[in-house]
A and B are shown apart, each in its own frame.
Chain A
């Protein structure tokens, strides 16, 4: 364990850890990192605003991503449109329980969880709450890690489209929800990247 004698943050000491490479250094305005040359900030610039902007964009994209079909299948002349939740229900009815659970978690639960956690943390920064900061930080790290896993369904669509074209008997085409969904995952990831957990601790 690295010891800390006085409880002092880098900002209070007039220092800044570079956001890109982590190098600790004294911080002046308009300064660039001595090690990697990136612009030096004590906190990510416009972190709260950027996080909100990306999160709201993601929330808007979440609607068409779930309402429109993520893929259109044609099998022996019969057309079928599959939404994300429709695909989950189909998998469940075909007794593919583990896969149904994976898709449900990745496509429905994780995005909702991300919306919930990031907006709660942003509210917490705004209101100046300082309770349970350990849990809040850990929660954010978990959300940040599991976020990209939502892309599974997009990859499945890409693969099915590519595979079934060769099959001849049936065709699969990407639906309009596929890009909305991919955009939703990308914007939630950008929201998490813009978020600065140090702002939570500044309220302590």
Chain B
């Protein structure tokens, strides 16, 4: 075993290649990269928690709008039907293909809504500085981390766009409020995921 002569808290290990680096203080928006493999080591962002909390509340509202307001309507030779996002789950559950219904419910509603609600709980607890939260907050953050790779809203949006193009040849499509709420939701989600670093949340929990 080789010796390192610095305290552990002054060191950071690259998550891609495991090389140890001495931490240096960064200015707002700056990033530290691994000197061996070039992966991102860490970054800082002042009041990331505050901004993320505000955006999470906005996302929850947009999520409700996207699900409950008219999403789009298709018009085939004067036969007009309006679709709600939430009703896709209902339709799928009426088919024989139970697995596809479950996959749809998981990827379109349960996982994205779950992550948003967990984010809201965690961020508001950290923001309001309530005392007895550490254990609870740790569990929340662990769960958020596990769910994150399966949150595919932006991919679903591309799926919506492809579907619209496919249908455009046989029907007249018009987009409604639900669709635009969904677009805004995806944009905000992408922004939050680039602003908020899990390490920052762990450090915030540690400080309590």
Q: What count of chain A residues pass the 8 Å CB interface test? A: 74
- State whether B15 touches A169 (Cβ < 8 A): no
Q: Which residues of B contact A6 (CB under 8 A)?
A: 2, 4
Cα–Cα, bound, A103→B158 (Å): 10
Q: Which residues of A contact B107 (CB under 8 A)?
A: 151, 155
Is A112 an interface residue, CB under 8 A from the partner? no
- Residue in contact with A9 in the complex, picked from B13, B42, B99, B166, CB distance below 8 Å: B13
Q: Which residues of B contact A29 (CB under 8 A)?
A: none
> Top 9 closest A-B pairs, CB basis?
A155-B159, A162-B88, A201-B17, A10-B13, A17-B13, A2-B21, A9-B18, A166-B81, A198-B18
Q: Mark A22-54, 1 if CB is under 8 A from B, else 0.
A: 111110000000011110001000000000000
Q: Which residues of A contact B175 (CB under 8 A)?
A: none
Looking at chain B's contact residues, is the secondary structure mostly helix, strand, loop, or mixed?
mixed
Q: What count of chain B residues pass the 8 Å CB interface test? A: 70
Tell me the residues in window 69-87 of chain B with beta carbons closer than 8 Å to chain A beta carbons.
74, 76-77, 79, 81, 83, 87
Q: Which residues of A contact B145 (CB under 8 A)?
A: 20-21
Is B19 an interface residue, CB under 8 A from the partner? yes
- State whether B12 touches A154 (Cβ < 8 A): no
B134 to chain A, nearest CB (A): 10
Is A189 an interface residue, CB under 8 A from the partner? yes
Tell me the residues in window 109-149 of chain A with beta carbons closer than 8 Å to chain B beta carbons.
133-134, 137-138, 141, 148-149
Q: Which residues of A contact B190 (CB under 8 A)?
A: none
Cα–Cα, bound, A136→B160 (Å): 33
A116 to chain B, nearest CB (A): 20
Query: Which of A10, A35, A37, A134 has the largest count of B CB atoms less than 10 A from its CB?
Result: A10
- Residue in contact with B158 in the complex, picked from A3, A102, A178, A182, CB distance below 8 Å: A102
